[in-house]
A and B are shown apart, each in its own frame.
Chain A
Amino acid sequence: MNVAAATGRLTLDAIGEIGRIANFAARGGTAWFLGPFYWRAFGGALARIGYASLPVVGLTAIFTGAALALNIYEGALFNVEAFLPQILGVSIVRELGPVLAALMVAGRCSSAMAAEIGTMRVTEQIDALSTLSVDPFKYLIAPRILATTLALPLLVLIADIIGVYGGYLVSVYALGFEPTHYVTNLVDFLSVDDVTSGLLKAAVFGFLISVMGCYYGYKSRGGAGGVGSATRTAVVAAAVSVLASNYLMTSLLVEV
């Protein structure tokens, strides 16, 4: 087996796939602006992706904040009552809130999108949309992409608050910190940029998660096996794209 040829073929396949995903994302993104816009489909997607993800995102945030507080306390050498809320706040707001919420939404929603759209593909429902004079990109894809891109920053904002509150509960009730010191140190240290950079990341994550879910569902073929494979690939692709884009955005946002 020629290793160089196999590597070259894999590279070309990967570049081709990235190109197809970019083309799909551009079609889905521009469909927002070309109209008609299906508000009912958008509202349904917003409820499923945003509202229904609140419990899992909230639970993830509160346990992460609580565990983080214990870890910071364990590792601190001095003045822990001042540093703990500061480190915890920055960690949650800039990194853990956006990334963990995005991974939760990726697992929950990109799989659901891929399964739903994939099933519609293999049961000819997407063909039926076209024969009924409705563009599948405008009815199926654009509302999901827009809903996820808007919902994820809101979910992250809520996750930030709950995560910091998880740290507060542990600091005050388990470690015996003074509540006002926790809040004062947190508020004095955190900047608006910390919060907005996390929300900006969340919007990009939302876009990527929905594109992966919709793309792999839309191109699925071959019955139940094809839909299962599309679902699995969508979740992996969404999670990897969240982590990779997080590094890229962090390197752009952080002044080194």
Chain B
Amino acid sequence: MTSTPVKVSIRKLEKAFGDNQVLRGVNLDVAKGQSLVVIGGSGTGKSVLIKCLLGLLKADEGVIEIDGVNIARQTGGDRRLMARQSGMLFQSSALFDSLNVWENVAFRLIYAEKKSRKHAREKAIDCLAQVGLAPEVGDLAPAELSGGMQKRVGLARAIASDPEILFFDEPTTGLDPIMADIINNLIVERVKALGATTISITHDMASARKIADEIAMLYQGHIIWRGKPDEVENSGNPMVDQFVHGRAEGPIQMQVRRDFVSKK
């Protein structure tokens, strides 16, 4: 660990849904200004991890510290106060259908920070420009935008209140490779400009290599490997190797494959 102070610290985080133990004691530290990407297959608990960090799910056990304050047991107003220093880009963008684009981007400014609509609109247009969208886009409805444009608007919304921590949930899922690379570049550029700490989850290795300072792999509820993006190809961990190279054969046996084999 470098001397950079730790922004987010996760200790022994556990979460189960009935008998299904999804997180089994996750430990992670993310330094201030660092970009950590958590990789892992579908159903390994990446989304559960990020939802616990955001307070959308309550962890069963463990500690989540942001700037040394344990937020794992915070609820209601305290948690929302903590949420003010973070931004989130959802996999589906999660734009509000009932509002136009600029109102989506300015949502937190208007409804949480009580800024005037005029000021909020100016800030929203500025954020849209930062992600390469023209001011006219601000007056469109989210349904009128392509998937790539919706991601850009989601990114603009996430950065609109200059957050200290940014979360990205599968930022390139559903995009063509060129648009995915454009989104990755925007993420790198905006995060650098903000100086924010970021935690991303993805199974897109091209995206992980591009936006990560460090990559961690989640498997069966544990972090099984962590290293630099240039180390991921030769991690020495057979599970990481299998995942990174996208091989069906290896120590990771997907549930669907086991079911298929057992039926045969």
Q: A interface vs B, CB < 8 Å?
A: 36, 38, 44, 116, 119-120, 123-125, 127-128, 130-135, 139
Contact = CB atoms under 8 A, between A and B. Distances in A.
Contacts of B157: 132
B86 interface: yes
A125 B94 contact: yes
Contact of A131 (B54, B76, B98): B54
B111 A130 contact: no
Contacts of B111: 36, 38, 132, 134, 139
Contacts of A120: 96-97
Nearest to B57: A127
A64 B185 CA distance: 64
A116 B167 CA distance: 26
B142 to A, nearest CB: 10
| Number of chain B interface residues as a range | 20 to 34
Contacts of A139: 111
Interface of B: 51, 54-56, 76, 80-81, 83-84, 86-88, 90-92, 94-98, 107-108, 111-112, 114, 157, 167
A133 B112 contact: yes
B83 A130 contact: yes
Mostly, the A contact residues are helix
Contacts of A134: 80, 107-108, 111-112
Given A132-B112, A133-B81, 11 more contacts: A119-B97, A120-B97, A123-B94, A124-B90, A127-B56, A131-B56, A131-B88, A132-B111, A133-B108, A134-B111, A139-B111
21 contacts: A36-B111, A120-B97, A124-B92, A125-B96, A125-B97, A127-B90, A130-B55, A130-B56, A130-B80, A130-B83, A131-B86, A131-B87, A132-B108, A132-B111, A133-B80, A133-B83, A134-B80, A134-B107, A134-B108, A135-B80, A139-B111
Nearest to A125: B94
Nearest to A116: B98
A-B pairs with the 7 shortest C-beta distances?
Answer: A133-B112, A128-B94, A124-B94, A131-B88, A132-B108, A133-B80, A134-B111
Contacts of A133: 80-81, 83-84, 108, 112
Contacts of A36: 111, 114
Nearest to B107: A132
